[in-house]
Amino acid sequence: MHEGERLLAIGVDVGGTGIKAAIVDVKTGEMAGERIRVLTPVPSKPAVVVASAGRVVARLVRAANSAAVAAGLPTPVIQAIGVGFPSPVINGVTKTAANVDPEWVGFDAQAAFSRSFKRRTWVVNDADAAGVAEMRFGAGHGKRGVVIVLTLGTGVGSGIFIDGRLVPNTELGHMEVGGKDAERRSSANARVRRGQSWKAWAEDLDDHLRAIDVLFSPSLIILGGGVSKKADRFLPFLKAQGPIVAAQLRNDAGIVGAGMVGLEREIEMVREEQDVAEQKAAAVAAALAAAALATTASGAG
Ligand code: BGC
């Protein structure tokens, strides 16, 4: 890769409501081309969601290729694909299904998306992905200490960073606050579902933020998700301790972060594969040398 060359990855953000995706320039955090959004199928069973995401990715690649051809440029090389999903994800397996069909519990999402996209794909928690993007390119840039990124959408997701390093798969949306699962009151959906004013919702969100503050004493809380573009409607009502700011990448953080994490994991995997190939080559060379030695020895004898 040459200096200044773009490093492209596809980022897919699967949510309880929509599936969003774009080709991401991982060096700048910007989208290289159009952003596609389709509604998450209902019911959101794995097979249909994976197939729908597959169509979105195919559309993205086709659009990018034809734009390049029209501009007389070489077709873009996509280095990796990452998917953000609303569940803790361990080794590619989705563990819970708070806002998607229960069939996702214990489902090998990574294998299924890889088959659908016809290339190796990496799946991570959606809020972790959004947090990674926000820490690199947004409100968390250069911030040390304990930084918590919360995504307020269909549910509430969390990404906790310690001196910039992610603690993966935290689920602060499901803390018990006021005797209830916190996201039932503090998600963006909760406001709409309960027909609340911004102020009334902000008070509920504030309870959640205070509980987080008691447990983690974060140096910064960043509020992301679709509502972050309307931060002026609710931030002034928040009284919880510590600096609380709106995410800068807004709702695109999930897409950008999925692309970033996808590329990171892909690079790690390629390195591991190279190490294994080198070890194998070394073992073969050693075996050949030993065999040659044995032949010489028996010839000499
Ligand atoms: C899920 C999280 C997810 C969040 C935001 C929660 O209900 O449990 O894993 O990050 O929603 O989508």
Mutate to test the pocket of ligand 1, among 105, 126, 154 (most ligand atoms within 8 A of CB): 126
Among 248, 271, 293, the domain-final residue is: 248
Q: What is the pLDDT of residue 293?
A: 86
Distance 145 CA to ligand 1 centre (A): 24
| Residue 214, domain extent | 141-248
Least confident of 54-63, 187-196, 283-292: 283-292
292 domain-assigned: no
Do 14 and 124 belong together in one domain? Answer: yes
Residue ID of nearest Cα to ligand 1 atom 10 = 157
- pLDDT confidence of 294, banded at 50, 70, 90? confident
State the average pLDDT over residues 47-52: 98
Comparison of pLDDT for 260 and 297, the residue scoring more: 260
Least confident of 49-58, 109-118, 134-143, 286-295: 286-295
Which position has the token pair 């960073």? 161
pLDDT in tens, 119-153: 999 999 999 999 999 999 999 999 999 999 999 99
Residue 199, pLDDT > 60, answer yes
Residue ID of nearest Cα to ligand 1 atom 6 = 155
- pLDDT confidence of 4, banded at 50, 70, 90? low
Residue ID of nearest Cα to ligand 1 atom 9 = 87
Among 86, 103, 129, the domain-final residue is: 129
pLDDT in tens, 249-278: 988 999 999 999 999 999 999 999 999 999
282 domain-assigned: no
State the average pLDDT over residues 173-194: 97
Residue 18, pLDDT > 90, answer yes
84 domain-assigned: yes
Distance 70 CA to ligand 1 centre (A): 40
The CATH number for 159's domain is: 3.30.420.40
Do 17 and 43 belong together in one domain? Answer: yes
Distance 155 CA to ligand 1 centre (A): 5
Mean pLDDT of the chain: 95
Do 176 and 92 belong together in one domain? Answer: no
Domain count, the chain: 2
Give the global pTM. 0.93
- pLDDT confidence of 10, banded at 50, 70, 90? very high
Do 119 and 178 belong together in one domain? Answer: no
265 domain-assigned: no
Residue 240, pLDDT > 90, answer no
Do 173 and 199 belong together in one domain? Answer: yes
Do 96 and 25 belong together in one domain? Answer: yes
pLDDT in tens, 72-103: 999 999 999 999 999 999 999 999 999 999 99
- pLDDT confidence of 224, banded at 50, 70, 90? very high
Q: Which atom of ligand 1 is closest in space to residue 126's alpha carbon? A: 10
Q: What percent of the chain has pLDDT over 70?
A: 98
Q: What percent of the chain has pLDDT over 90?
A: 92
Q: What is the pLDDT of residue 264?
A: 97
125 domain-assigned: yes
Do 108 and 151 belong together in one domain? Answer: no
Residue 2, pLDDT > 90, answer no
Q: Which atom of ligand 1 is closest in space to residue 173's alpha carbon? A: 6
Do 72 and 174 belong together in one domain? Answer: no
Distance 94 CA to ligand 1 centre (A): 11
157 domain-assigned: yes
Q: What is the pLDDT of residue 132?
A: 98
Distance 218 CA to ligand 1 centre (A): 20
- Is the Cβ atom of 128 under 6 angstroms away from ligand 1? no
Q: What is the pLDDT of residue 300?
A: 57
Distance 152 CA to ligand 1 centre (A): 9
212 domain-assigned: yes
State the average pLDDT over residues 212-237: 96
Residue 301, pLDDT > 60, answer no
Do 153 and 233 belong together in one domain? Answer: yes
223 domain-assigned: yes
Secondary structure string (H, E, C) spanning the chain: CCCCCCCEEEEEEECCCEEEEEEEECCCCEEEEEEEEEECCCCCCHHHHHHHHHHHHHHHHHHHHHHHHHCCCCCCCEEEEEEEECCCEECCEECCCCCCCHHHCCEEHHHHHHHHHCCCCEEEEHHHHHHHHHHHHCCCCCCCCEEEEEEECCCEEEEEEECCEEECCCCHHHCEECCEECHHHHCHHHHHHCCCCHHHHHHHHHHHHHHHHHHHCCCEEEEECHHHHHHHHHHHHCCCCCCEEECCCHHHHHHHHHHHHHHHHHHHHHHHHHHHHHHHHHHHHHHHHHHHHHHHHHHHC
Do 108 and 22 belong together in one domain? Answer: yes
Do 82 and 165 belong together in one domain? Answer: no
- Is the Cβ atom of 96 under 6 angstroms away from ligand 1? yes
Among 97, 129, 161, the domain-final residue is: 129
Q: What is the pLDDT of residue 161?
A: 98
- Is the Cβ atom of 171 under 6 angstroms away from ligand 1? yes
Do 124 and 14 belong together in one domain? Answer: yes
